[in-house]
């Protein structure tokens, strides 16, 4: 669960032309295309890791039927690697470049894909596919709301971002407590938070486009960061919904 890049945009002008123009469409299309490619890459890596015993067994302990039983130390490190990379990059990349932000995006996408093999091993393929379709539908609707609404979501987004850190802390605590009720609460709150962040991040990207103007370097960086923000919103929404809808493998 990450909140990368939400504070990296330039200051947003108080008044902007909210009309849809070709430049804005091209920018948002670039963000969505890169996000979609990231999801495809993550899925391919997840299924590859889960299907190749030599790689799978380094990260996960599975039952004779191939169902996930627990993480190895390497799998635990991998699960936290994307969050660690996000935190490190937020300090190390003070002046991001298009190449640097692209490398960060694809690096996080690849790490999440490898750690996502745990979902493939834990849940049935049918329930994963169903949850993905529901997530995609909900994501599209929420992103459309964020794109079209005239209400400023900045304050709402700041509240949700604080909620993300609360979710991270609660999830770490529950790793030791293993409390079913806390697990259920975390997943319910997680769905609500990342549903809201999807709308907020979409509006923020739209405002970022107007703030950057014609700066092509800035737009390239914003495309990478924007794709990362929406990708993380999608992945987290999918993960929390999967906790409710996923059918466990025997």
- In sequence order, the 6+-apart residues with CB closer than 8 A to the CB of 183 are 174, 243
CA distance 174 to 168: 10
What 3-state class would DSSP assign to 15?
coil
Which tops the pLDDT comparison, 14 or 161?
161
31-35 contacts, C-beta under 8 A, 24 or more apart: 31/205, 31/223, 31/226, 31/227, 31/230, 32/227, 32/230, 34/105, 34/223, 34/224, 34/227, 35/227, 35/230, 35/231, 35/234
CB contact at 8 A, 27 and 214:
no
CB contact at 8 A, 61 and 74:
no
pLDDT digits (tens, 9 = 90+) for 24-63: 999 999 999 999 999 999 999 999 999 999 999 999 999 9
pLDDT digits (tens, 9 = 90+) for 52-105: 999 999 999 999 999 999 999 999 999 999 999 988 988 888 889 999 999 999
Q: Which helix (H) or strand (E) holds 61?
A: strand 60-62
CA Rg value for the chain: 18
Q: What is the mean pLDDT of residues 208-235?
A: 94
For 97: left if phi > 0, alpha if psi spans -120 to 50, otherwise beta; the answer is: beta
**Vertex 112: Cα angle to 189 and 204 (nearest 5):** 60
For 18, 120, 207, the CA distances from 212, given in Å and listed in that order, are 14, 40, 9
Predicted confidence band at 3 (pLDDT cuts at 50, 70, 90)? very low
- In sequence order, the 6+-apart residues with CB closer than 8 A to the CB of 2 are 82, 83, 86, 108, 164, 232, 236
What is the distance, to the nearest Å, from the Cα of residue 37 to the centroid of all Cα atoms in its chain? 13
CB contact at 8 A, 44 and 113:
yes
What 3-state class would DSSP assign to 62?
strand
What's the pLDDT at 173? 93
What 3-state class would DSSP assign to 137?
helix
Q: What is the mean pLDDT of residues 216-235?
A: 96
Assign 3-class secondary structure to 194-249. HHHHHHHHHHHHHHHHHHHCCCHHHHHHHHHHHHHHHHHHHHHHHHHHHHHHCCEC
- Residue 14 predicted with pLDDT over 60: no
Share of the chain above pLDDT 90, in %: 83
pLDDT digits (tens, 9 = 90+) for 192-217: 999 999 999 999 999 999 999 878 99
Q: Could you give the count of Cα atoms lying within 13 Å of 176 in the half-sphere of its Cβ?
A: 4
For 94, 107, 132, 195, 240, the CA distances from 127, given in Å and listed in that order, are 41, 27, 8, 20, 13
């Amino acid at each position: 669960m990450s909140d990368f890049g939400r504070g990296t945009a330039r200051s947003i002008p108080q008044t902007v032309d909210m009309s849809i123009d070709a430049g804005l469409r091209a920018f948002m299309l670039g963000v969505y295309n890169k996000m979609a490619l990231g999801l495809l890459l993550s899925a391919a890596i997840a299924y590859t890791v889960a299907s190749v015993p030599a790689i799978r067994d380094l990260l996960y302990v599975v039952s004779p039927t191939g169902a996930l039983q627990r993480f190895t130390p390497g799998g635990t490190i991998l699960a936290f690697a994307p969050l660690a990379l996000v935190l490190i990059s937020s300090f190390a990349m003070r002046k991001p470049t298009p190449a640097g932000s692209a490398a960060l995006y694809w690096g996080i996408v690849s790490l999440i894909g490898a750690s996502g093999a745990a979902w493939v091993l834990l849940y049935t393929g049918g329930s994963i596919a169903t949850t993905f379709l529901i997530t995609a539908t909900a994501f599209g609707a929420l992103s459309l709301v964020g794109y079209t609404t005239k209400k400023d979501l900045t304050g709402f987004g700041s509240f949700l971002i604080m909620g993300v850190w609360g979710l991270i802390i609660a999830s770490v605590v529950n790793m030791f407590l293993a409390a079913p009720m806390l697990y259920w609460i975390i997943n319910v709150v997680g769905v609500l938070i990342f549903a809201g962040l999807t709308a907020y991040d979409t509006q923020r990207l739209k405002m970022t486009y107007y703030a950057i103007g014609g700066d092509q370097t800035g737009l390239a960086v914003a495309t990478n960061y924007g794709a990362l923000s929406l990708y993380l919103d999608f992945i987290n929404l999918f993960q929390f919904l999967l906790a409710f809808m996923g059918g466990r493998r025997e």
